[in-house]
Amino acid sequence: MDILVAGGHGQIALRLLKLLADQGHTARGLIRKPEQAADLRAAGAVPVLGDLENDESLAGYVKGADAVVFAAGAGPGSGPARKRTVDLGGAVKLADAARETGVRRYVMVSSIGAQDPASAGPAMRAYLEAKAEADAYVVASGLDYTIVRPGSLTDDPGTGRVRATRELGQRGPVPRDDVAAVLAACLTTPSTIGVTFELFTGDTPIAEALRF
């Protein structure tokens, strides 16, 4: 498969690109900073230069892909405006580009808490509102979506064992390694199409955990 990962130099994205490249896929990562290209190449991925906020359309990057993954984010140091332009706006642009170019498959890195942004504290609310709106847009887009809502991300080594649940509103940690492995598995697991689930570290091997 040819897979375009938006936010290609992110901590999850780099792990995902490496996994996909190791599995023999064409793993393309969309980055806005040319100096990040070498890290993508070192992971076996193809860097694609583009900007989720400043490019009017992402269609030129998405064209030819079999699937897209949204793994970008404005990050904890950003204010509410960039939650709108990256976490929401970037995800919407990616969905529009997928539709325009006939790419059916869209896997979204969302977040726990996106099912109820109003109950979050002020620091998280703008972020979770952006995530909730982005998820709703992708669900309504008609694309073959999967919305993955990880718990608190850690840099602990992955275990290959997770808890994936459609009962939303839970809490817990999950290593970025395991999030990346789950994203990769979603791309080749049709039963995850049309599913929104939360993801935590757990006891179940990934392939089994994704049997919804």
Ligand X SMILES: NC(=O)c1ccc[n+]([C@@H]2O[C@H](COP(=O)([O-])OP(=O)(O)OC[C@H]3O[C@@H](n4cnc5c(N)ncnc54)[C@H](OP(=O)(O)O)[C@@H]3O)[C@@H](O)[C@H]2O)c1
Q: Which of 124, 153, 168, 185 binds ligand X (CB under 6 A)?
A: 153
Residue nearest to ligand X (CB): 73
117 is a contact residue toward ligand X (CB under 6 A): no
φ/ψ region of 41 (left if φ > 0, alpha if ψ in -120 to 50, else beta) reads alpha
10 is a contact residue toward ligand X (CB under 6 A): yes
CB of 152 to ligand X, least distance (A): 4
Calpha distance 77→126 (Å, rounded): 13
CB of 25 to ligand X, least distance (A): 19
CA distances from 204 to 5, 85, 160, 164, 200 (A): 26, 36, 8, 9, 10
94 is a contact residue toward ligand X (CB under 6 A): no
51 is a contact residue toward ligand X (CB under 6 A): yes
57 is a contact residue toward ligand X (CB under 6 A): no
Calpha distance 211→72 (Å, rounded): 26
Q: Which of 38, 57, 60, 75 binds ligand X (CB under 6 A)?
A: 75
**Can 127 be counted among the known catalytic residues?**
yes
Give yes or no for a contact between 29 and 52, defined as CB atoms under 8 angstroms apart.
Answer: no
156 is a contact residue toward ligand X (CB under 6 A): no
What are the E-state strand segments in the chain? 2-6, 26-31, 46-49, 67-70, 105-109, 144-150, 152-154, 161-165, 173-175, 195-201, 204-205
71 is a contact residue toward ligand X (CB under 6 A): yes
Question: Would you mind telling me the total number of residues written for the chain in this entry?
Answer: 212
Part in contact with ligand X (CB under 6 A); list of ranges 7-15, 91-99, 116-124, 160-168: 7-15
**DSSP-based three-state secondary structure for 125:** helix
Task: Tell me the number of residues near ligand X by CB under 6 A.
Answer: 24
Active centre residues (catalytic)? 127
Q: Using CB under 6 A, list all residues that contact ligand X.
A: 7, 9-13, 30, 32-33, 51-53, 71-75, 86-87, 109, 111, 150, 152-153
